[in-house]
Structure 1
Amino acid sequence: DAAPDTKMLLISDQQAKEIADTETAQGGFAVAEMLPERDLRLQAGDRAMLLHCLQDPSNLGAILRTAEALGTDGLYLYQCCDLYNPKVIRGSMGAIFRAPIRRIRDTDAFFAHCRSAGVPVCAAVVDRDAVLLGQYDFSRGGVVLIGNEGNGLPREVSDRCDVKLTIPMSPASNSLNAAMAAGLFLWEMAKT
């Protein structure tokens, strides 16, 4: 059943093929307004994540889904791929409509906001000198910054963080997929 003010159109199979972005479309298409920006203000004890320049829509969708499932207080996006990319929407399994998401345009203002709220800022890095995930105490909350798939966080960003955290890995491996790494950090924050 459609909402009373919903306009529905029947289209041909050929039209559906032309607008579909997958090989086998599910048969339903929609045009909707974008969600309004949320006013997410961090408070002491909050657990959140900032995604810095993520480019893969599948990763962003998976992170949205995981963030909602694990109950994050905020998911901030800085210069990431399009939040409304069909792969993001599909991968999020609807979390895009429920999770606390906000795009930010200024990392300086974001760092200042975190500090004024008393929320520690943590850089997710691949660095043997960083604190191992699992040894850091998230009971005071924290915002974990995840860098992009190819380069991670820029040094000028990670150096501004209060602490650098790393995921313990086998010596044969040097990194994880951004969505997997984000999931591990979100899980660790949710445990405390």
Structure 2
Amino acid sequence: MGLRVFLLAAALLALSCSHGAIASDPSLLQDFCVADKMSQVRVNGLPCKAAKDVVAEDFFFSGLHMAGNAANKQGSAVTAVNVAQIAGLNTLGISLVRIDYAPYGLNPPHTHPRSTEILTVIEGSLNVGFVTSNPENKHFNKVLNKGDVFVFPKGLVHYQFNNCTTGTVAIAALSSQNPGVITMANAVFGSNPSIPDDIVAKAFQVEKNTVDWMQAQF
């Protein structure tokens, strides 16, 4: 009898959980939730500003017409337009970046843990690619010209390289208000404190002095 009661309770619980998943809110519960950056409340995202205090400027950003400074080691510059720049993006699940590439500039291998990316070349040409997860690690790559579009699936390592003698500009949209970015080289060789060099040496199958040299670059 006790076992039957237990099984019935478990079935009812599973059924209620299933219905809860189906009945969950599929989208926003209000027109907008402008981020209140002064709030001390910590949530998965940002709390909402009072609707009476919302103004048009909360949905506005100016600056993507200006080129980023790509005079650095990688030869690229990212100008982000996410919830940090536009408070009105809070809860809307979208953001934007402009990427400027110097001649032979690189946006190095990186991943966005919370976002798919769709990129459009505005000027110039790019060699782009991404790599699938283990164990296949299949590399998809393509040369893009002005007006071409390419998608980088969520969480996968990807890159863009300007293989031209002139500058290139791209615009990318991302499916998160705060997509995050993890640059592979920075994470492995530039962490603070450093990952022990014997661990990195074994992972990359190289000598420790090579790892020490790589870490010194970051």
Superposition TM-score tier, normalisation by shorter sequence: under 0.3
Q: 1 or 2 for the larger relative contact order (CA 8 Å, sep ≥6)?
A: 1
Taking structure 1 as the reference length, what is the TM-score of the superposition?
A: 0.23
TM-score (normalised: structure 2): 0.21
